[in-house]
Amino acid sequence: MSRVDLVQVTKTYPGGVKAVDGVSLTVEAGEFMTLLGPSGCGKTTSLRMIAGFEQPDSGQVLIGGKDVTRVPPYERDTGMVFQSLALFPHMSVLDNVMYGLRMRRVPRPEAEARAKEMLALVQLAGYEQRRPHQLSGGQRQRVAFARALAVNPSIFLLDEPFAALDAKLRDELQVELRRLQQRLRITTVFVTHNQREAMTLSDRVAVMRDGRVEQVGTPQEVYEEPATVFVAGFVGMTNLFKGHVVAQDGGFVRVRTAEGFEIAGRPPRTNGAPPQALAPGQPVTVSVRPEALRLVQAGAAGAVGEAGAVGEAGTPTARESGEAAGESNGTGGIPVRVDMVRFVGELVEYHLFTPGGQEILCTYQRGQAAPAVGQGAQALVRVEPGEARVLWQ
């Protein structure tokens, strides 16, 4: 169990593509860190640099505080689970799990005992003599875990190991992985492009894009306080409104959107730096999660779930009064047309269009009192106070 540090690592591929561009990241001992991002964001390259399969052009890789930048992969003491799992097809399950131990010159009886112990830990006792192709997808996955962990590595690395599995099996194995990791308290770096997977597994998430780290934080922080427009859009669903700052008063920034509506939101994250004042006229983007939006029937006296003084909004002339309402409640209403209502099981989705043609998504949890508006109806949308976040553009 050791910590991992990437210090200003950069890797440029032939052809000039910067796969990783000045990434600095610390994974604490025993922590489960997920590198999250779309394909080509540099997450896999970063992982492969920790494992030693790629060498950075500049910067350092530290494992347990020791510089291993130039140490070859076979001397690094990491345990890696590959995307394809890479189980050796010509060896039995037992030989697969023993491979790393044999490479470390552990005597055969000892290695065998240890391998069997690991197989028991992943509930595969009795499968020792099978060949990988005789196992189910989930069983192969567990063999890959056992093989990587049998050598008791200081770092556990996983490169999208669940990508090929169906949703149900993936869920089961995620729970199993998390349990295994907490039991062994092993420093773990996990790579995925699936934000749900990242949220449910990790202690902390590093969101990457174009070879850079956009934000590092707990799943909750990343979701609730996205640092950039990209993070807001990539982690969970969100509605983005472009606009410019009208004024900053107290805890809120008032923003006028391109369509002329006003939304109040919390100021951007400062990442520890002293808060920067937002000058009026500064272009920004406001992010509002679909579940933070509330739908109000046009012409009705109050919002469903919360009464509000926005009843007269909904006509162009009502924008002035909406602005006034924004002072206390965070926003006036945005007039929308209901385009589609979808029932998704645990939630109901409303697909809405503003007069300017921007699509807005609004969701209600099952059991929440959802407004009775149907397709084609005119309605108003309100932002729950404090739920909108202003982001630098």
Partner 1 sequence: MAMRGGFPAQGAGGRLARALLVFPVGMLVVFFVVPLIMMFVVSFYRNLPGAGWEPAFTLENYVRAFSRGLYRDRLVYTLEISALNAVLCLLIGYPFTYYLVRLASPFWRKVGLTLSISTLWLTYVVRSYAWSVLLSATSGVGQLLMWLGLVDRPTGYTPGPVATVVGLVYVFLPFMILSLYGSLRAIDPSMEEASMNLGARPWRTFLHVVLPLSLPGAAAGAVMVFLLTMGNYVVPSILGQPAQWTMPVIITNQVMNESNVPFGAAMSVILLAVLGLLAYATGRLVGKARVNPYAGSRVAQGGEGA
Partner 2 sequence: MSGRGLRYRDPVVWSVRAAFWIVLAFLGVPLLILAAVSFHPGRFMTFPPQGFSLRWYETLFTNSQWTDAIRNSLVVAFASALLATAMALILALVLDRYPVRFGAVFRQLGMLPLFLPPVIMGVAYVSFFYAIGFSGRIENLIIAHAVFNAPFPLMLISAGLGKVGKELEESAMNLGARPGVVLRTVTLPLIRADVFAGALLAFILSLNEYIVAFLVAGFTVVTLPIELFASLRYSYSPVIAAASVVFILGTAVLVAVADRMAGGLWD
What sign has the CA pseudo-torsion 298, 302, 306, 308?
positive
Choices 51-59, 110-118, 163-171, 367-375; region in contact with partner 2 by CB under 8 A: 51-59
Residue 53 binds partner 1, judged by CB under 8 A = yes
| Residue 235 and residue 223 in contact, taking contact as beta carbons nearer than 8 Å | yes
- Shortest distance, CB of residue 53 to partner 2, whole angstroms? 6
By a kind-dependent CB cut-off of 5 to 8 A, residue 54 interacts, out of partner 1, partner 2, none, with partner 1
Site size for partner 2, by CB under 8 A?
A: 25
Choices 47-55, 96-104, 212-220, 279-287; region in contact with partner 1 by CB under 8 A: 47-55
Residue 72 binds partner 1, judged by CB under 8 A = yes
Size of the chain, expressed as the number of residues it contains: 393
By a kind-dependent CB cut-off of 5 to 8 A, residue 318 interacts, out of partner 2, partner 1, none, with none
Residue 103 binds partner 1, judged by CB under 8 A = no
By a kind-dependent CB cut-off of 5 to 8 A, residue 62 interacts, out of partner 1, partner 2, none, with none
Residue 256 binds partner 1, judged by CB under 8 A = no
Residue 143 binds partner 2, judged by CB under 8 A = no
Q: Which is nearer to partner 1, 147 or 289 (CB)?
A: 147
Residue 88 binds partner 2, judged by CB under 8 A = yes
Residue 389 binds partner 1, judged by CB under 8 A = no
Residue 76 binds partner 1, judged by CB under 8 A = no
Q: Which is nearer to partner 2, 117 or 172 (CB)?
A: 117
Residue 78 binds partner 2, judged by CB under 8 A = yes
Choices 48-56, 193-201, 327-335, 348-356; region in contact with partner 1 by CB under 8 A: 48-56
CA atoms within 13 A on the CB side of 365: 5
Within positions 281 to 340, which residues make up the interface with partner 1, using CB under 8 A?
Answer: none
> Three-class SS string for the chain?
CCCEEEEEEEEECCCCCEEEEEEEEEECCCCEEEEECCCCCCHHHHHHHHHCCCCCCEEEEEECCEECCCCCHHHCCEEEECCCCCCCCCCCHHHHHHHHHHHCCCCHHHHHHHHHHHHHHCCCCCCCCCCHHHCCHHHHHHHHHHHHHHCCCCEEEEECCCCCCCHHHHHHHHHHHHHHHHHHCCEEEEEECCHHHHHHHCCEEEEEECCEEEEEECHHHHHHCCCCHHHHHHCCCCEEEEEEEEEEECCEEEEEECCCCEEEEECCCCCCCCCCCCCCCCEEEEEECHHHEEEEECCCCCCCCCCCCCCCCCCHHHHHHHHHHHHHHCECCEEEEEEEEEECCCEEEEEEECCCCCEEEEEEECCCCCCCCCCCCEEEEEECCCCCEEEEC
- Shortest distance, CB of residue 378 to partner 1, whole angstroms? 44
Q: Which is nearer to partner 2, 72 or 251 (CB)?
A: 72
Q: Which is nearer to partner 2, 53 or 127 (CB)?
A: 53
When binding is defined by CB under 8 A, the residue of 4, 23, 33, 54 that contacts partner 1 is: 54
Q: What is the largest CA-CA distance in the chain?
A: 84
Residue 82 binds partner 1, judged by CB under 8 A = no
When binding is defined by CB under 8 A, the residue of 43, 48, 76, 289 that contacts partner 1 is: 48
Residues forming contacts to partner 2 in the complex (CB under 8 A) are 51-53, 72-76, 78-80, 82-84, 86, 88-90, 99-100, 103-104, 147-148, 151
Residues forming contacts to partner 1 in the complex (CB under 8 A) are 48, 53-54, 72
